[in-house]
C-alpha cells in the first residue's frame, strides 16, 4: 500500500493515464497535481470524501471537462489533442453510468438501451431487439422494456442506465455511484455483473462509490482522493487495514482526522450568540 | 455605479450574453449538416411547435381580425371609406400584425416549451449522456428545434392571417353589412403578392428563427436547477418579445 501523495508508481499497460492534473472550479482548487493510472482489465475504484472531485475526475477522463493543467491519455490518445470527431470516436468505446441515470425521458426503457445502437450502427431491427433484450436480461429488467423512465424506481433506472452503458460492449466502463438506491438483491446482481463483464469481456472498469463493503467485493485497486491529491492507493484489504491518517479516518468513518467533517465556519459559540463560549 | 472588481457590470453581462448567443448560433449552423440525418426528429418538432400551436394561433387570429374589422370599419366610415376595409385589414395583417403577433404567441407557446424541455434535459444530465454516447446534442436536440421554428412560424403566420381576414369579413360583411364583392375586390386589387404577402412570410421566418434561437440558447445554457429553468423560460418570452419587435422595425425599414 502507498499513502504518499506522489508515489503512485506508473502502470506499464495503463488504459487511462493521468499526469499532473490540476483543476480549479469556481475559484476552488479541486485537483493539485494528481497522477493516476488505470490498469487494463482491472476494476479500479476511486473513493474519497464528498466534494473531493471524484465525478470531476471522471469528467476529465471522458473529455467532458478540460483540465487547467496536466495530461490525460485514454488508450494511448491524449484527450487534449483530440478534435470533436476523434473524441466522439473514443467515447463510442466508453460506457458511462451517470449518478442520476440520465435516461432519455421521452423514450421507453427499450428505446433508451437501443439508443446508442440506433445512432451509430445500421443493424437489422431483429438484431437490435435481441441485443437490447439480452442486456436488459443481464440487469434483470427484460420485463420492464416497455416502461417509461417515469415509471421506474431509482434503482431500476440505474439498472437500465447500466444496460445502456454496456449495450455496445465498451472497452472502458465508468460507473459513477452505481450502488445508490439498489436493494440488496439488485446490489448483489450488479456486483456480479460488474465482475462478470470485466472477466468475460476483458473490460476495464472505473468505479466511483462510497459503499466500502460493496467496493471491496469487486475492486482490484482503490485510489483514495482527498485535498486535491491521491492520498492513498492499493488493494481494498490493504487500505482497510489502515496505515495512514487518511485511510484510518475514511475507512473507519471517523469525524476527526485530516478530512474536516465541518465546512469552514466562524466560531460556533459566536455564531449562536454566546461570545463567552459554550460551557 | 461602479462594478465590483472581477464581476462584470450589467451591460458587460448583457453584451457577453449576446456574444455567447451569437457563438451558439454559429454552432447551430455548423451542426445543421449533421442534423440532416435526424429528419424524423425535425418533423416531430415541426409537429410539436407548429401543429400543436394551431389552436392558439387560429383563435387569436380570428379575434384580432374581428377587432380590426370593427375598429377600422368605424374609423373608415367617418371618411366614407368603408369600401377599403378589406384592403386595410389585409395589409395590416400581411405586413405587420400577422408576423409580429404570431411570433409573440409562438414565443409564449412553443418557445417556452423548447426552453423548459432542453433546460430539464440539461438539469437531468440527458445532454451529457448524449455527449457520452457520442451523439452531438447540438445536432440531435438543438438544430431540429431551430429548424422547426424556422419552418413552422411562416406557416402559422399564414394561418393567423387567413383567420384574421375571415374574422374581419365576419364583422365587416356579415355583421355590419359591407358588400361582399367590395370587400374582396378591393383587397385583391391593392394587395401585392410579392410586396406584401411574401415579405410578411420572410419576416415571420426571421422571427421564427430568432425565437427558436433564443429558446434553444436559454435552455441549453440554463443553470441546472429548477429555479434556473424557471428563469430561463421567463427570459425566453421577454427576450423573444423585445427582439421580435426591434427586428420588426429593422426589417420593415428594409422591406418598405
Work out the minimum CA distance from B35 to partner chain A, whole angstroms. Answer: 12
- A86 interfacial to chain B (CB closer than 8 Å): no
pLDDT confidence of A26, banded at 50, 70, 90? confident
**Angle at the Cα of B114 from the Cα atoms of B113 and B118, rounded to 5 degrees:** 115
Q: In what order do the strands lie in the sheet with A43-47?
A: A94-97, A172-176, A204-208, A43-47, A221-226, A229-234
Residue ranges of B 151-210 with Cβ closer than 8 A to chain A? none
- B27 interfacial to chain A (CB closer than 8 Å): no
Measured over the CA atoms of residue B62, residue B67, residue B73 and residue B75, the dihedral's sign is negative
Please check whether residue A57 lies inside any domain of the structure.
yes
Q: Residue A73's domain is classified under what CATH number?
A: 3.40.50.300
Q: A158 and A180 in contact (C-beta within 8 Å)?
A: yes
Q: Which of A250, A241, A201 is nearest to A43 (CA)?
A: A201
**A157/A123 same-domain check:** yes
pLDDT confidence of A9, banded at 50, 70, 90? low
Per mean pLDDT, which range of A81-85, A112-116, B3-7, B206-210 is the poorest? B3-7
Measured over the CA atoms of residue B187, residue B192, residue B193 and residue B197, the dihedral's sign is negative
**Stronger pLDDT, A6 or A228, i.e. the higher one:** A228
Q: A248 and A257 in contact (C-beta within 8 Å)?
A: yes
Q: B212 and B239 in contact (C-beta within 8 Å)?
A: no
Please check whether residue A176 lies inside any domain of the structure.
yes
**A180/A51 same-domain check:** yes
- Residue B215: which residues within 8 A CB-CB, separation 6 or more? B107, B110, B111, B112, B114, B115, B118, B145, B149, B236, B240
Instruction: Show which of A145, A167, A189 is a domain's final residue.
Output: A167
Give the pLDDT confidence of A241-261 residue by residue, as tens digits: 767 777 778 777 777 777 777
**A85/A186 same-domain check:** yes
Q: Tell me how far CA of residue B19 lies from CA of B12, B25, B109, in angstroms.
A: 10, 10, 26
**A140/A177 same-domain check:** no
Grid cell at residue B251: 426589417
Grid cell at residue A205: 472498469
DSSP label at B3? P
Phi, psi of A19 (to 5 degrees): -135, 125
Residues B134, A89: C-beta atoms closer than 8 Å: yes
**A126/A180 same-domain check:** no
Grid cell at residue A186: 439488485
Q: A236 and A224 in contact (C-beta within 8 Å)?
A: no
**A20/A112 same-domain check:** no
Low-confidence ranges of chain B (pLDDT < 50): 1-3
Confidence check: pLDDT of A126 > 50: yes
Confidence check: pLDDT of A39 > 80: yes
Please check whether residue B5 lies inside any domain of the structure.
no
pLDDT confidence of A5, banded at 50, 70, 90? very low
**pLDDT reported for residue A278:** 63
Q: Enumerate the residues of chain B whose CB falls inside 8 A of the CB of residue A149.
A: none
Residues B125, A94: C-beta atoms closer than 8 Å: no
Please check whether residue B148 lies inside any domain of the structure.
yes
Residues B135, A119: C-beta atoms closer than 8 Å: yes
Average pLDDT over residues A150-157: 90
Q: What is the ipTM of this complex?
A: 0.85
Please check whether residue A266 lies inside any domain of the structure.
no
Average pLDDT over residues A76-90: 92
**pLDDT reported for residue A279:** 62
**A40/A71 same-domain check:** yes
The per-residue DSSP string of chain A comes to -B-SSS--PPPTTEEEEEEEEEEEETTEEEEEEEEEEEETT-EEEEE-STTSSHHHHHHHHTTSS--SEEEEEETTEEGGG--HHHHHHHHTTEEEE-TT----TTS-HHHHHHHHHHHH----HHHHHHHHHHHHHHTT-GGGTT--GGGS-HHHHHHHHHHHHHTT--SEEEEESTTTT--HHHHHHHHHHHHHHHHHH--EEEEE-S-HHHHHHH-SEEEEEETTEEEEEE-HHHHHT--SHHHHHHHHT-SSSSS-SSPS-S-HHHHHT-TT---
Give the pLDDT confidence of A173-203 residue by residue, as tens digits: 999 988 887 888 888 888 888 888 888 888 8
Alpha-carbon Rg for chain A in angstroms: 21
Confidence check: pLDDT of A129 > 50: yes
- pTM over 0.95? The answer is no
Residues A94, B132: C-beta atoms closer than 8 Å: yes
What is the count of structural domains for chain A?
A: 2
Q: Which of B30, B207, B254, B216 is nearest to B112 (CA)?
A: B216
Q: Which of A237, A259, A232, A229 is nearest to A247 (CA)?
A: A232
Q: Which domain holds residue A155?
A: 100-167
Across A16-30, A113-127, A172-186, A197-211, the highest mean pLDDT is recorded for A113-127
- B242 interfacial to chain A (CB closer than 8 Å): no
Distance CA B165, CA B157 (A): 12
Please check whether residue B231 lies inside any domain of the structure.
yes
What is the count of structural domains for chain B?
A: 1
**A88/A179 same-domain check:** yes
**pLDDT reported for residue B6:** 61
Please check whether residue B24 lies inside any domain of the structure.
no
How does the average pLDDT of chain B come out, rounded?
93
- B126 interfacial to chain A (CB closer than 8 Å): yes
Please check whether residue A157 lies inside any domain of the structure.
yes
Grid cell at residue B107: 414565443
Average pLDDT over residues A46-69: 91
Phi, psi of A25 (to 5 degrees): -125, 130
**pLDDT reported for residue B97:** 94
- Within 10 A of B48 (CB to CB), how many other CB atoms are there? 18
Residues B129, A102: C-beta atoms closer than 8 Å: yes
Confidence check: pLDDT of A218 > 50: yes
pLDDT confidence of A154, banded at 50, 70, 90? confident
- B40 interfacial to chain A (CB closer than 8 Å): no
Residues B124, A62: C-beta atoms closer than 8 Å: no
Strands A77-78 and A69-74: antiparallel
Please check whether residue A261 lies inside any domain of the structure.
no
Instruction: Show which of A167, A193, A225 is a domain's final residue.
Output: A167
Residues A64, B128: C-beta atoms closer than 8 Å: yes
**A31/A87 same-domain check:** yes
Grid cell at residue A268: 460556533
**pLDDT reported for residue B1:** 46
Phi, psi of A75 (to 5 degrees): 50, 40
**pLDDT reported for residue B94:** 95
**pLDDT reported for residue A272:** 86
Q: Enumerate the residues of chain B whose CB falls inside 8 A of the CB of residue A99.
A: 125
Q: Which domain holds residue B158?
A: 39-255
Confidence check: pLDDT of A19 > 90: yes
**Stronger pLDDT, B188 or A275, i.e. the higher one:** B188
- Residue A199: which residues within 8 A CB-CB, separation 6 or more? none
Please check whether residue A267 lies inside any domain of the structure.
no
**A14/A49 same-domain check:** yes
**A56/A116 same-domain check:** no
Q: Enumerate the residues of chain B whose CB falls inside 8 A of the CB of residue A64.
A: 128, 131-132
Q: Which residues pair with A14 in a beta bridge?
A: A39
Please check whether residue B225 lies inside any domain of the structure.
yes
Residues A116, B125: C-beta atoms closer than 8 Å: no
**A64/A152 same-domain check:** no
Amino acid at each position: 500500500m502507498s499513502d504518499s501523495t506522489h508515489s503512485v508508481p506508473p502502470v506499464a499497460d495503463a488504459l487511462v493515464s493521468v499526469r499532473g492534473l490540476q483543476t480549479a472550479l469556481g475559484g476552488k482548487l479541486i485537483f493539485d497535481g494528481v497522477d493516476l493510472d488505470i490498469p487494463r482489465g482491472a476494476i479500479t475504484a476511486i473513493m474519497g470524501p464528498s466534494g473531493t472531485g471524484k465525478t470531476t475526475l471522471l469528467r476529465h477522463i471522458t473529455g467532458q471537462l478540460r483540465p487547467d493543467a496536466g495530461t490525460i491519455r485514454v488508450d494511448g490518445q491524449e484527450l487534449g489533442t483530440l478534435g470533436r470527431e476523434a473524441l466522439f470516436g473514443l467515447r463510442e468505446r466508453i460506457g458511462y453510468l451517470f449518478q442520476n441515470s440520465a435516461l432519455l425521458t421521452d423514450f421507453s426503457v427499450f428505446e433508451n438501451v437501443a439508443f446508442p445502437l440506433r445512432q451509430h450502427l445500421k443493424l437489422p431491427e431483429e438484431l437490435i431487439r435481441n441485443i437490447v433484450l439480452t442486456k436488459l436480461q443481464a440487469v434483470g429488467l427484460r420485463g420492464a422494456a416497455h416502461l417509461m423512465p417515469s415509471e421506474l424506481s431509482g434503482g431500476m433506472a440505474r439498472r437500465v442506465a447500466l444496460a445502456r452503458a454496456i449495450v455496445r460492449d465498451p472497452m472502458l466502463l465508468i460507473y459513477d455511484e452505481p450502488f445508490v438506491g439498489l436493494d440488496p438483491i439488485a446490489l448483489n446482481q450488479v456486483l456480479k455483473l460488474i465482475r462478470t463483464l470485466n472477466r468475460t469481456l476483458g473490460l476495464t472498469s472505473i468505479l466511483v462509490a462510497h459503499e466500502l463493503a460493496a467496493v471491496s467485493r469487486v475492486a482490484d485497486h482503490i485510489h483514495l482522493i482527498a485535498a486535491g491529491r491521491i492520498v492513498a492507493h492499493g488493494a481494498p484489504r490493504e487500505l482497510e487495514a489502515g496505515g495512514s491518517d487518511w485511510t484510518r479516518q475514511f475507512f473507519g468513518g471517523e469525524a476527526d482526522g485530516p478530512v474536516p467533517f465541518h465546512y469552514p465556519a466562524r466560531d460556533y459559540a459566536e455564531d449562536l450568540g454566546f461570545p463567552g463560549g459554550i460551557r | 455605479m461602479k462594478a465590483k472588481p472581477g464581476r462584470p457590470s450589467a451591460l458587460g453581462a448583457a453584451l457577453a450574453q449576446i456574444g455567447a448567443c451569437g457563438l451558439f448560433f454559429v454552432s447551430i449552423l455548423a451542426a445543421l449538416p449533421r442534423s440532416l440525418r435526424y429528419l424524423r426528429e425535425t418533423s416531430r418538432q415541426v409537429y410539436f411547435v407548429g401543429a400543436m400551436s394551431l389552436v392558439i394561433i387560429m383563435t387569436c387570429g380570428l379575434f384580432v381580425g374581428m377587432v380590426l374589422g370593427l375598429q377600422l370599419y368605424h374609423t373608415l366610415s367617418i371618411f366614407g371609406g368603408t369600401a377599403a376595409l378589406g384592403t386595410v385589414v389585409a395589409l395590416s395583417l400581411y405586413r405587420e400584425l400577422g408576423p409580429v403577433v404570431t411570433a409573440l404567441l409562438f414565443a409564449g407557446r412553443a418557445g417556452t416549451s423548447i426552453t423548459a424541455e432542453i433546460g430539464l434535459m440539461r438539469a437531468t444530465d440527458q445532454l451529457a449522456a448524449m455527449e457520452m454516447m457520442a451523439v452531438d446534442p447540438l445536432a440531435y436536440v438543438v438544430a431540429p428545434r431551430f429548424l422547426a421554428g424556422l419552418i413552422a412560424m411562416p406557416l402559422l403566420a399564414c394561418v393567423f392571417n387567413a383567420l384574421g381576414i375571415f374574422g374581419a369579413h365576419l364583422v365587416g360583411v356579415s355583421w355590419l353589412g359591407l358588400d361582399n364583392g367590395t370587400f374582396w375586390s378591393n383587397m385583391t386589387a391593392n394587395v401585392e403578392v410579392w410586396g406584401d404577402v411574401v415579405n410578411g412570410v420572410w419576416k415571420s421566418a426571421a422571427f421564427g428563427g430568432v425565437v427558436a434561437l433564443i429558446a434553444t440558447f436559454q435552455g441549453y445554457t440554463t443553470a441546472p436547477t429548477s429555479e434556473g429553468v424557471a428563469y430561463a423560460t421567463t427570459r425566453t418570452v421577454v427576450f423573444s418579445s423585445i427582439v421580435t419587435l426591434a427586428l420588426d422595425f429593422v426589417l420593415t425599414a428594409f422591406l418598405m
